[in-house]
Amino acid sequence: MAALPDQPTSASELNDRYARLNQMNWWDQRRVSEARVLIAGAGAIGNEVIKLLALSGVHNLTIVDFDKIELTNLTRSILFRESDVAKSKSVVAAYRAREIDPESRAIGIEGDIEFDIGLGIYRSMDAVIGCLDSINARLALNRACLHAGVPWLNGGIEDVFGEVSLYAGSAACFECGMTDSMWNRRNIRFSCGGQRISIPADGAPTTAIAASIIAGYLVNEVLLLFHSGSLENKEGMRPGQKIVISLKPYDFQVVDLTKNPSCTAHEQWSPVHALHVRPDKITTHELLTLTDSSNDVVEIGYDLLTEMTCVKCGATQEILLPVEKSNAALTVCPHCGDETRRPTTVSWIDRHSPLAHMPLSALQIPQHQIVAVNGAGGRKYYQLGGDNF
């Protein structure tokens, strides 16, 4: 075998991991290294996004996924090995990101982006990248990012097709583009009471090729954002645009999305006041007292299933779960087996509520969450504390 030709290498390149990137006159490695990115979903697209961000020297990655690694993931996921099967996707992906980038501070959170990640975490990010495979997760991510005022990119693939969208500010958002068929696909997974129905997930056919191409556009857009200083000055996509790609046959389109004037997702929660107290260390009653809001109410941010009561035997069971996180099997009474238990739900709590003296964490409010306090003076927003991330 012929020897590889020697490559001329300068001393600066030997000592600088990012020397080739820094040769680009527009590249700012310090800005890239300091940027904070949340990656929602560590599947096929997420693996490629994490790899590219780590190679680019984005040190601050927060990776969120509630799933475990399966054998079928290995044909599309560069960060996973066969020995990783049954391990947490997010935790393994963060470990591999730290292998790629020695200065990486990547962390993996095994959790639900809607209920386990406080809005304060989203608010601390420079950008969010959605690498998700469900409509419900995208809806939740869309609202979280709009409330937190952080731009987010959505990537999706199926067979030989892929798409990338940029959402931010007052431009068209993901929810603006929801069609009747998309709402039907989302709603079929929930009962009429809003509880989750156990339906096997549809595994769409995908390839590593489609995932890597879409991931390339996602990361390129984020890097353009970091170097622009603002969305207004950014090159590439504008908020409210979508790139649609076909690999067979080749096709590429940039589509301007239409904003729905009736869309209720467009609301940035601001200004936000920091409380620096964890949700397990404060109750609703204490929160209202601390914020001089004794006559106001705390909005939970979702419908909380507080209890289930059996119509037949009258037995009541305390639940304390978000309705959408609960399972339709809860309608069955554990005492008599009847299937007509009735739910009790709340979406807000005042200081006279029986729940007002429970820690906010007992009501499933996560660390770093932003809670809304509503009263005669309007809504005010308070960010809770939590562990470093």
Whether residues 252 and 277 share a domain: the answer is: no
Provide the domain count of the chain.
Answer: 2
Residue 10 lies in a domain: no
User: What is the pLDDT at residue 195?
Assistant: 58
Q: What is the pLDDT of residues 68-117, one digit of tens each?
A: 999 999 999 999 999 999 999 999 999 999 999 999 999 999 999 999 99
Give the distance between the most distant pair of CA atoms in the chain: 84
**In DSSP terms, which residues pair with 108 in a beta bridge?**
63
Domain of residue 85, residue span: 17-256
On whether the CB atoms of residues 374 and 381 are closer than 8 A, the answer is no
pLDDT at 139: 97
Do residue 52 and residue 182 come from a single domain? Answer: yes
DSSP one-letter string for 86-141 = TSBHHHHHHHHHHHH-TT---EEE-S-TTTTS-HHHHHT-SEEEE----HHHHHHH
Decide if 286 is inside a domain.
yes
Whether residue 6 lies inside any domain: the answer is no
75 and 198 co-located in one domain: yes
What's the rounded Cα separation, in Å, for the pair 41 and 82? 19
What percentage of the chain carries pLDDT values higher than 70?
92
Inter-residue contact 138 to 113 (CB < 8 Å): no
d(CA 252, CA 16): 37
The answer to which of 62-66, 196-200, 249-253, 297-301 has the lowest mean pLDDT is 196-200
CA distance linking residue 295 with residue 167, whole number of Å: 37
Distance CA 90, CA 83 (A): 15
pTM equals 0.91
Alpha carbon distances (Å) from 192 to 7, 324, 325, 343: 66, 11, 14, 12
Residues 334, 202 within the same domain: no
Q: Is residue 389 a part of any domain in this protein?
A: no
| β 161-167/378-383 pair status | unpaired
86 within some domain: yes
Pairing of strands 36-40, 60-64: parallel
For residue 18, pLDDT over 80 is answered with yes
Which is nearest to 215 in space by CA: 41, 48, 42, 39? 48
- CATH code, 51: 3.40.50.720
pLDDT for the residue 229: 83
Same domain, yes or no, for 284 and 248? no
Could you tell me if residue 12 is left (phi over 0), alpha (psi between -120 and 50 degrees) or otherwise beta?
alpha
The number of beta carbons lying within 10 Å of the beta carbon of residue 340 is: 11
pLDDT in tens, 159-178: 899 999 999 999 999 999 99
Residue 59 resides in a domain: yes
Give the C-alpha separation, 379 to 12, whole Å: 55
Query: Looking at the domain assignment, is residue 368 inside a domain?
Result: yes
CA dist., res. 212 & res. 181, Å (int): 28
